[in-house]
Structure 1
Amino acid sequence: MKVKICGITDVDSAHVAVQAGADALGFVFAKSKRQIRPEQAKQIIEVLPKEIEKVGVFVNEDPQVIESIVHSCGLTMIQLHGEESPDQCQGYSLPIIKAFGMSEKQDLVNTQLYLNDYLLLDSPKGAYQGGNGVRFDWSLLTKWNSNKKLILAGGLTPENVREAIEVTQPYMVDVSSGVETDGKKDHEKIKAFIQNAKGA
């Protein structure tokens, strides 16, 4: 099982995640309590192993701004977490992960309009587009077949990630607030989350 630790803002947390077996790290460039400046992200990315996916998270951002940050930071994937249309998810230099908030079956139907290979299914948006620590109804995904690579997010924790994987059978699980304590990345929770996800 592949694991993405999102909302990375410091080198120590990045190293802990990588050493614990994370496959991808997420850097949030949109307005968020985990927002990071491009120059900060670049400093972290420069010391990461080549094989780790470095995902930039953007919300309704100008494509030229995204591409500028991609090239200045050394990102390897782009996550679009806003209301981007299918057309607005095309034409980038890197693979696109399109995120969707899930509240009903129709939300799954809407994902079929998008041609991107990666779909991230998250809880419905709250104060921010993601990272709200709320899980959606995983049973929405039963009997749902897609040729997309499904990334499961929203309210995942070290305690529930095994169950989430068993129910939804995703390509990857993605966590942010679920491995934090008092709003900061908790290194022990990161290790536990990755261990439990990989062991599922």
Structure 2
Amino acid sequence: MTQIKICGLMREQDTQAINEVHPDFAGFVFAKSRRQISLATALKFRELIDDDIPTAGVFVNEPLQNMLDIYHSGVIQIVQLHGNESEDTVKALKQAGATVFQVFKPNAEITPTAADYVMLDSGNGSGITLDWSRVPQAPHPFILAGGLTPENVTAAIAAVHPDVIDVSSGVETNGQKDADKIRAIVATTHAN
């Protein structure tokens, strides 16, 4: 079974959809983005999300101490690195107990990393779909992101065989999470 992460939760009703369909991971964006939320909001959402759904925090070139402070607040179990973070940062986060998702861009070389998962993403919730035939043989566990929707996720899984898919814009309508799309993509992903 392929796992799934629903990223970019912005509203309280998003947490209700998450609890209903039980994805394998949920994500909060702390980096500058239209989906960015405050730590206070994320803490409130974490209280509402079932305890057995791990949450990730998305960061771009955030100072290590800030990421550690957010991790130690209990709001996230996973640190997702979308910037140019060093291997020393990855190791420091892991030493603190965090699970680390290291994100690579489509044309970047996937370099050896101590991160728990490697993610290939076309662009930070942009909705741009990767050319799956060009996805390099990535190390596992591997996360595929970028332009995934309920309509194309089966083809993406068949082409790439990721361990996890990560979706944000693909489950939105008019810029907000859509519970029906979340239901559809979680069911489809878990069936593959």
* SS across alignment from 1:116: coil
How far the C-alpha of 1:145 sits from its partner, in A, is 5.6
Corresponding residue for residue 45 of structure 2? 44
* SS across alignment from 1:87: helix
TM-score, normalisation: structure 2: 0.92
Q: CA RMSD in A?
A: 1.4
* SS across alignment from 1:46: helix
How far the C-alpha of 1:73 sits from its partner, in A, is 4.4
User: What are the superposed Cα offsets for residues 20-46 of structure 1, whole Å, 9 maximum, x if unpaired?
Assistant: 131110000000000000000000101
User: Equivalents in 2 of 1:58, 1:145: separation in Å?
Assistant: 22
Corresponding residue for residue 184 of structure 1? 176
TM-score, normalisation: structure 1: 0.89
User: Equivalents in 1 of 2:43, 2:138: separation in Å?
Assistant: 37
Corresponding residue for residue 141 of structure 1? 135
Counterparts of residues 158-169 of structure 1 (less than 5 Å): 158-169=150-161
C-alpha contact 2:118 2:138 (8 A) present in aligned 1: no
C-alpha contact 1:39 1:73 (8 A) present in aligned 2: no
User: What are the superposed Cα offsets for residues 95-149 of structure 1, whole Å, 9 maximum, x if unpaired?
Assistant: 110111103xxx2xx32332212011101x4xxxx0000011111236x262x31
Q: Which amino acid aligns with 1:100?
A: F
How far the C-alpha of 1:67 sits from its partner, in A, is 1.1
The answer to whether residue 146 in structure 2 is matched with residue 154 in structure 1 is yes
Q: Identity, % of aligned pairs? A: 39
Q: Which amino acid aligns with 2:64?
A: P
Name whichever of 29-38 and 77-86 sits farther off.
77-86
Name whichever of 82-91 and 176-185 sits farther off.
82-91
Counterparts of residues 1-200 of structure 1 (less than 5 Å): 1-92=2-93, 93=96, 94-103=98-107, 107=108, 110-123=109-122, 125=123, 130-141=124-135, 144=137, 146=139, 148-200=140-192
User: Equivalents in 1 of 2:19, 2:164: separation in Å?
Assistant: 15
* SS across alignment from 1:90: helix
User: Equivalents in 2 of 1:182, 1:73: separation in Å?
Assistant: 31
Q: Which runs of 5+ in 1 are unaligned?
A: none
User: Equivalents in 2 of 1:5, 1:164: separation in Å?
Assistant: 16
* SS across alignment from 2:48: coil
How far the C-alpha of 1:11 sits from its partner, in A, is 2.3
In the comparison of the two structures, how many residue pairs are matched? 188
* SS across alignment from 2:73: helix
